[in-house]
Structure formats: C-alpha cells, structure tokens
C-alpha cells in the first residue's frame, strides 16, 4: 500500500480517535454541528501609501453609510466592514474592505453599486500601489449581531496536504474549530468567526482560512489560551491537525477591524 494511503488512513484514525476520547457532551456537540447555508464574502485588498491612510479611513466610513448600511438594511447583505493591517509585510496589503451575503448575486449587486457611485475608481484607492480581490465561501460560521469599531481581527491561512481527505475542512471544522469558537463566542471573547475557502480560486485550491473577530485585545489572549488548553487537554488535536496541514505556507494577519453583522 502506498505511503500516501497510509497517511490518509492515519488522518481519519486520528480524527476518529479524537471524537472517541472527547467527553460525551463534546461528542454530542460535534454530532449536532452541520454545514450552514453558504455565506459568501467579497474582499478587496489595498496597499495604500502611509500619507493616505487617514483618507482611506474617511472614505471607508463614507462608503459604509452610503452603500453598505442600506444593503444590510434591505437584506442584500448580512455583514460588512473594513480592516487596517497591524503587522505589515513588504509585499502585503495595508487595508481591505469586505461585505457578505447568502448569495453571489448579493455580492455582485453591492459591487455594482460601488462602481456606479465611482468610489471604486476615485479617492485614496487610486494611490494604491497594489490591489487584489478575493471571493470566499463559508459553511461554518457564527456571529453576534451588532457593530464594532476598533476591534481586532485575526486571520490564518492554511494549506491542506495533497493527500488530505476531500472533506478535510469539514472534518476539522466539526471536530475542532466550531466547538472551540462557539465556546469563545458564548463567553464574549469573540463576536464572529468563520472558516472560509476560496469560491473563485486565485490561490492554491487547497487553501482555507480561519478568521475570528475579538471586540478587545484581551480577546486575542483568550483565544490563544483556549487553543493552548485544547491542545493540552487532548493530545490527539495536534497530530490530527498536523496530519492534514502543510505548515510551510502558513501565514497570519492581525487587523484593526470595523465590522457590522445583521
């Protein structure tokens, strides 16, 4: 039998064992976790010169009031926001804007509104030295309704190994990610989380993204502590995760976030 087949078997065995040794309550919770209706996200990334950062903040606030807030109110969107990167890299973006809907049509309706209003082709974005867009889909997510300004967003990009199961993201979400984040959401340490995959593939098809929003910087510490406690409390979490993930291309982003969820 090929080595890759043994690795797949090992991955499934690790996650099976993970669910077996979990508490009855944890097993029941994992069994109840189901994929939700797709949540689509359109996100624009910008690299803005430092001298125009204040202008970008003002224009983001104006766009939110003129285009995004009405789209949330009429049911087109379920969430929107903008971010400023707190940990800069030479090649990375400094800002992003995003909006979310339960349909791709909803995303495109709002994108059209930006173009018709001229905000996509004027102002601070014209000073961008780099720009890219991403379109994502999530089936594991949750949030508290409301608006947050100056919150902290954390995004982690992960790449599946070539021989990971086809449903690896689902398996990891049901057994690891969702139970962890639901507890943090209930405790108020975070106000939103989502497990995303690219809907329009501009990167490796094996990538997925874990994002959460903490209302305060203390929430970041609470998430970190919860992850460490989970690994400490169950020695199979690390091997199960590591059996499917190629950590070499892994990257994180820490963001100062403004977000509104319906």
State percent of the chain over pLDDT 70. Answer: 88
- Exposed, middle or buried by CB within 10 Å (0-12, 13-18, 19+), for 4? exposed
For residue 56 the two structure tokens come to 């970008």
Residue 211 and residue 196 in contact, taking contact as beta carbons nearer than 8 Å: yes
pLDDT band at 238 (very low <50, low <70, confident <90, very high): confident
For residue 110, is pLDDT > 70? yes
Q: Return the higher-pLDDT residue of 109 and 28.
A: 109
CATH of domain 1-262: 3.30.70.100
Residue 8 pLDDT more than 80? no
What value does the mean pLDDT take over residues 9-38?
60
Name the residue among 61, 52, 55 with its Cα closest to residue 81. Answer: 61
Q: Are 152 and 71 in contact (CB under 8 A)?
A: no
- Band (234; pLDDT cuts 50, 70, 90): confident
> 217 φ, ψ to 5°?
-65, -30
Residue 6 pLDDT more than 50? no
Higher-confidence residue of 162 and 237: namely 162
Per-residue pLDDT at 3 exceeds 70: no
d(CA 91, CA 244): 28
pLDDT at site 30: 58
Residue with tokens 């339960």: 102
Alpha-carbon gap, residue 138 to 117, rounded angstroms:
29
Please, what is the average pLDDT of the chain?
Answer: 89
DSSP summary character for residue 173: I
| Residue 179, pLDDT above cutoff 80 | yes
pLDDT tens across 86-99, in order? 999 999 999 999 99
Phi-psi bin for 46: left (phi > 0), alpha (psi -120 to 50), beta? beta
For the ranges 22-31, 203-212, 235-244, the maximum mean pLDDT occurs at 203-212
Three-state DSSP at 161 gives coil
Q: Is the pLDDT of residue 48 over 90?
A: yes
Answer for the pair 158, 205: CB distance below 8 angstroms, yes or no: no
Q: Which residue in this structure is represented by tokens 């004027």?
A: 122
């Amino acid at each position: 039998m090929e080595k890759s087949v043994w690795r797949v078997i090992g991955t499934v065995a690790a996650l099976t064992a993970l669910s077996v040794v979990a508490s009855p309550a944890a097993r029941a919770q994992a069994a109840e976790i189901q994929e939700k209706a797709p949540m689509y996200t359109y996100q624009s990334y910008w690299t803005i010169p430092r001298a125009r950062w204040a202008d970008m903040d003002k224009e983001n606030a104006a766009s939110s009031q003129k285009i995004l807030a009405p789209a949330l109110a009429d049911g087109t969107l379920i969430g929107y926001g903008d971010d400023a990167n707190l940990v800069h890299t030479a090649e990375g973006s400094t800002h992003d804007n995003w909006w979310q809907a339960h349909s791709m049509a909803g995303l495109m309706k709002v994108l059209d509104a930006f173009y018709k209003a001229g905000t996509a082709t004027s102002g601070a974005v014209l000073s961008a030295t780099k720009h890219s867009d991403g379109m994502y889909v999530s089936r594991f997510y949750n949030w508290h309704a409301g608006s947050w300004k100056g919150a902290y967003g954390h995004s982690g990009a992960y790449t599946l190994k070539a021989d990971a199961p086809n449903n690896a993201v689902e398996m990891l979400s049901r057994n690891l990610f969702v139970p962890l984040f639901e507890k943090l959401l209930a405790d108020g340490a975070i106000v939103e989380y989502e497990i995303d995959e690219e809907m329009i593939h501009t990167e490796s098809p094996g990538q997925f993204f874990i994002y959460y929003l903490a209302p305060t910087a203390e929430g970041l510490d609470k998430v970190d502590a919860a992850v460490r406690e989970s690994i400490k409390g169950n020695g199979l979490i690390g091997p199960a995760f590591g059996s499917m993930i190629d950590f070499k291309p892994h990257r994180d982003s820490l963001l100062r976030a403004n977000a509104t969820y319906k």
